[in-house]
Structure 1
Amino acid sequence: MPNSHRPHEPGPALPRGAVLAGLGAAGLGLAAAALPSPAADAAPPARGLPVLRPEDDWAAVLARTLRVQLAPEARYVLEAPVRLPTGTLIEGNGAVVAASSTAHGLFEVDGASDVKLRGLRLHGEPGYAPEAGTPPPLDVPFDAAHTALRARRARNLRVLDCDLLGWRGAGIAATGDPADDYFSYGVQVHGCRFEACCIGLSAADRCEYSLLTTSVFTACRLAVWNSSGNWTLSGNVIVGCHGAYYSIGATSPFGERASDSWGHGAVTGCTMNHSDGETPRRWTRHLELEIGGTLRDPGPGVMIEGVLPPTFSANTLWYTDVTARDLPASVWYLTGCALSDLRLTQDGGAPVRLLGHQSNAGDLHAPVLVGDVADALAP
C-alpha cells in the first residue's frame, strides 16, 4: 500500500514508551538517546542556542555566552541600549525588542567585530503593537538618540531579516574612522524592513565597502543617507519616503567629518517610487535635517550633492525627483533606468546623461530635464 503521508509531513507520533518497548534491550540505549526529550521538544527552534528570556539581564547573559536566541514571538523591553561585544550572535525567532521610551535606542556596536542580528523586530515606539492596527507616528522631530542600532567602527556587522519600525533617529546608523582599516568594515544589511523611521539607514564617516540589499523602506522621512564611500545598494524597494537617497558631501545627522571620501559606490536594480506624494502615509513636517551645520530640507527624492556620484543603473523611479548638484566628476550617467513622472535637475558641476531610459507613454510622463541634462542616445 502506498504511503498516505506526503514526504514532508510526518505520520502520527508514537508514544515514547511504545517505541522503546518494541525495540528490545539491544536497541534500547541507542533509541533513548536518539528520541527527543521533553525539554528538547519545548526548546525554541534556533540550532539549540541558549535562550535569553524577556526577564534576563542582557549584559550578564552575553558575558556568559555570546551566541543566544530569543524566545519565539516574545516581547522584550529595554530600559537602555545594550552594548554588543565582538562575536555576538542573536537569533531573534521573530521576537519583538522595544525601547521603553523614545529617549534611547536598543543596541550599540562600538569597535566590535563579527556581530550578527537575525530575525528581530525592533520597535521604537513604546507600546506599539502592529496587531492593534495603529502604525507608528510620522512627522515627529529628529532625535539621534532614538536609533535602533548604532554602530561605530564595526567590522563584519550583519543585520539580516529584521524589521525596524518607528525610529525618530535611524533604524541603523553606522560610522567609521579613517584611522581604521576601513577597507574591511564590510557591514551587511540584507532582507530588512524599515518603516516610519526618520532615517532608515545612515552611513557616514568612512564606514566604507559595505552592502545594503533586498530591503524595503516605507513611510520614512529619508530612506537612506549615504555619504560614506563604496557602498553597494542593490535590489531595494523605497516607496512613499520623502527622501529616497541622499548622498551629500557635508556633516550629517550622524556624520561629524566635514571632508571625506564622499559618495561613489553603486545603486543598482532598486525601485524608488512616490517620493513626490500619492501614498496614504508620508512625512509632511519636520523635514529639515542638520547638514553642514545648517538645518535644511534637501528636497524629495534622490539628492546627490558635492560627492562623486554612484554608479546608477537598472533602477526604477516613478514620481521621485533626482537632483545632481556640484558633482566633482567628468559626467554622471543614469544607465538603463525607468524614469517616469519626475524632474531630473543638474545644478552645477558634472553634466548628467541618460543612457537608455524609458517612461510611461506620452509627453506628460517623460522626465522633465533641467540644467545640463541630456539623452545621450537622442538623434
Structure 2
Amino acid sequence: MHNLTEKLCLPLFLVLLSFLSQSSSFAQVGIGTRDPQTTLDVNGTFAVRGLIENDTINTVMVVDTSTHEVHYRNLKSLHYNMWPSGGDDAVVLTELLEQANGVEPFLVNMAPGMYYFNTSVTNFKNNVIIKGNGSNINSTFVGELFYLNQKIGIEIKDVNFHSSNSGSSYAQNRMDGDKAIKAYKTKDILISGCKFQGFLDTAIDMYNHTGDKLHQANRIVNNIFNECWGGATIWYNSEYGILSNNIFKQCRYAILNNSGNWNLSGNITVKCRAALISQNVVGDTNFAVGGNLNHGNYSGNSFNHCGNGFWNSSVTEMTVGSSVVDITGIYFKGIISPQISGGSIWFTDIYLEDTNATYGMVITGCTIATSNINAVGTSTLDLYGNRMYNVSTSGAVVIH
C-alpha cells in the first residue's frame, strides 16, 4: 500500500509543478511568510505542496527556497500573505499586486495587528481584495496611501490607516494630499471595517470629474473616522453609492457629498465641526463641480454636537468658490437638496443657501434639539412630523 500511495502522489505532484512553472505569475517571487521550516527543496528553486480538501486540490502553496517566501495559488484566485518588510511596505505591496492579472480575484492577507510603514503610494489593479485583519498602515509621507485609478472590484477590509501627521489634528491647518484612499472613476468598490486616524486632507476621496457616470456602485460601510480634516469626500458624478453605518468622531467635517443618488444611512457624526457639507462650487478637495449635485436619500443618521467641536477656529476655514468660510453643522449651498428622514439632529445647526427651489427640501420624522435652522436665498425647507426642542428658525422654513 505504501508503494502504491507513492506511485499515485508523485504524478500528481509533477502535474502541479508543471502547471505552476508554465505561469509567469508564479515564476516571480511572492511576498509572504518567511519560515524556512515550511520550505520543500524541489529542483533548488520552488517547492510545491498541495492541500487536499474533499479529494480536490483547491490550493497550492509555492515556496521560494532561496528567500523562504511563500505564496498560494488557488485554481480560481490568487492568495498571498504579506508581512511587514522593514522597509517601504508600499513598494512591497505594489510589487505583489503586479502578480494580479486583473481578472481573477487577487487576495492579500495582512498580518493581524502588525504595523506596516508606507513612504509612497500603492496603485491597484482590478479585482484586488485587501484583508487587513486589524493591521496598521502608517503613512510616512504626504500623499494618498492607496490609489484606485479607474478600477473595478476592489475590496479593502479591516485596515487601520494612520496619517503621517503627528500630534493633535485640531490645531493644524489642512494639508493638501494627506489621504488614505483616493478613488477616481471606480466601480464596485467596497471599503469596510477600516479605521482612519488624523488625515489632514480627507481620509477617503471618491470622485469622477470627467462628466460621465462610470463611477458608481461604491460602498463605504462600517468604518471609523477619527480626528481627520475630512472624513468621506464624494464629488462630481460619483453616483449611485452607499455610505452607511460609519462613525465620524471629532473631524473637521465628517461628510462632504456633492454627488447625486447616494444613500446615506445609519451614520453617526459626533463632535465634528461640520457634520454634512454639500455645495456646488469648487472647494479645497473638490477641484471641479458638475453633474447631478446631491439629491440623495439620507435616513436614520445621527448628527450630534457638530458645531464648534474640538477644532481650533483659526485653522478650520474652507474654500467655497471665491469665498473662505468657516462651515459648521449641516451646510447645503446651490444643490438639489436631499431628503432627510428618521434620524436625530442634536446641537447641530442647519444652513441652506440657494438650493434648488423647484424641489425644495424636506426633513421628516427626526428628533431635532438645540439647533438653529436657516434657509436663505432660493432655499425652502419644510419640516414634517419632527420632534423638536429648543429649535429656532429663520428664512423660508415652514413647520407642519
TM superposition score category, shorter chain reference: 0.7 to 0.9
**Could you say what the CA RMSD is over the residues aligned between the two structures, in angstroms?**
2.8
TM alignment of 1:294-313, pairs within 5 A: 294-298=323-327, 300-313=328-341
TM alignment of 1:48-87, pairs within 5 A: 49-55=79-85, 57-65=92-100, 67=106, 68-87=108-127
Cα drift, residue 136 of structure 1: 4.5
Q: How many Å separate the matches in 2 of 1:136 and 1:152? A: 29
Cα drift, residue 52 of structure 1: 1.5
Which amino acid is 1:110 matched to?
N
Cα drift, residue 212 of structure 1: 0.3
- For structure 2, which runs of at least 5 residues remain unmatched after alignment? 9-50, 54-60, 62-69, 72-76
Q: Does the CA-based 8 Å contact 1:221-1:283 persist in structure 2?
A: no
Cα drift, residue 321 of structure 1: 0.2
* SS in structure 1 at match of 2:116: strand
- Match in the other structure for 1:138: 170
Cα offsets for 1:188-232 (capped at 9, x unmatched): 000000010000011111111111000000000000111111111
Q: 1:368 to 1:75 in 2, by over 3 A?
A: same
Q: 1:303 to 1:181 in 2, by over 3 A?
A: closer
Correspondence for 1:289 among 294, 309, 318: 318
Q: 1:350 to 1:294 in 2, by over 3 A?
A: closer
- Match in the other structure for 1:269: 300
Correspondence for 1:349 among 375, 378, 386: 378
* SS in structure 2 at match of 1:91: strand
Which amino acid is 2:171 matched to?
D
Cα drift, residue 283 of structure 1: 4.5
Cα offsets for 1:163-192 (capped at 9, x unmatched): 01110011101111444343x611100000
Q: How many Å separate the matches in 1 of 2:306 and 2:300? A: 17
Q: Does 1:340 align with 2:369?
A: yes
Q: Does the CA-based 8 Å contact 2:162-2:199 persist in structure 1?
A: yes
- Match in the other structure for 1:193: 224
Cα drift, residue 104 of structure 1: 2.0
Q: How many Å separate the matches in 1 of 2:193 and 2:290? A: 33
Q: How many Å separate the matches in 1 of 2:312 and 2:218? A: 28
Q: Does 1:125 align with 2:164?
A: yes
- Match in the other structure for 2:139: 99
Q: How many Å separate the matches in 2 of 1:114 and 1:33? A: 29
Q: How many Å separate the matches in 2 of 1:104 and 1:257? A: 20
* SS in structure 1 at match of 2:366: strand
Q: How many Å separate the matches in 1 of 2:287 and 2:52? A: 58
Q: Does the CA-based 8 Å contact 1:170-1:199 persist in structure 2?
A: yes
Q: How many Å separate the matches in 2 of 1:310 and 1:203? A: 14
Cα drift, residue 349 of structure 1: 1.0
* SS in structure 1 at match of 2:206: strand
Which amino acid is 2:112 matched to?
P
- Match in the other structure for 1:115: 154
Q: Does 1:321 align with 2:349?
A: yes
Paired-residue identity, %: 21
Cα offsets for 1:97-148 (capped at 9, x unmatched): 11013x223111111111110010001136x7xxxxxx75322111231011
Q: Which moved more, 1:58-67 or 1:308-317?
A: 58-67
Q: Does 1:250 align with 2:281?
A: yes
Q: Does 1:150 align with 2:182?
A: yes
Cα drift, residue 292 of structure 1: 1.2
* SS in structure 2 at match of 1:285: helix
Q: Does the CA-based 8 Å contact 2:202-2:228 persist in structure 1?
A: yes
Cα offsets for 1:314-334 (capped at 9, x unmatched): 120110000111111333111
Cα drift, residue 49 of structure 1: 3.2
* SS in structure 2 at match of 1:122: strand
Q: How many Å separate the matches in 1 of 2:52 and 2:189? A: 38
Q: How many Å separate the matches in 2 of 1:324 and 1:264? A: 14
- Match in the other structure for 1:15: none
Which is strand-richer, 1 or 2? 2
Q: Does 1:370 align with 2:381?
A: no
Q: How many Å separate the matches in 2 of 1:293 and 1:88? A: 40
Q: Does the CA-based 8 Å contact 2:169-2:228 persist in structure 1?
A: no
Which amino acid is 1:121 matched to?
N
- For structure 1, which runs of at least 5 residues remain unmatched after alignment? 1-23, 129-134, 360-364
* SS in structure 1 at match of 2:377: strand
- Match in the other structure for 1:260: 291
* SS in structure 2 at match of 1:342: strand
Q: How many Å separate the matches in 1 of 2:392 and 2:196? A: 35
Cα offsets for 1:249-295 (capped at 9, x unmatched): 11122223244321211111000010134x6x444331112221433
* SS in structure 1 at match of 2:398: strand
Q: Which moved more, 1:65-74 or 1:91-100?
A: 65-74
- Match in the other structure for 1:6: none
Cα drift, residue 88 of structure 1: 1.3
Which amino acid is 2:349 matched to?
D
* SS in structure 1 at match of 2:98: helix
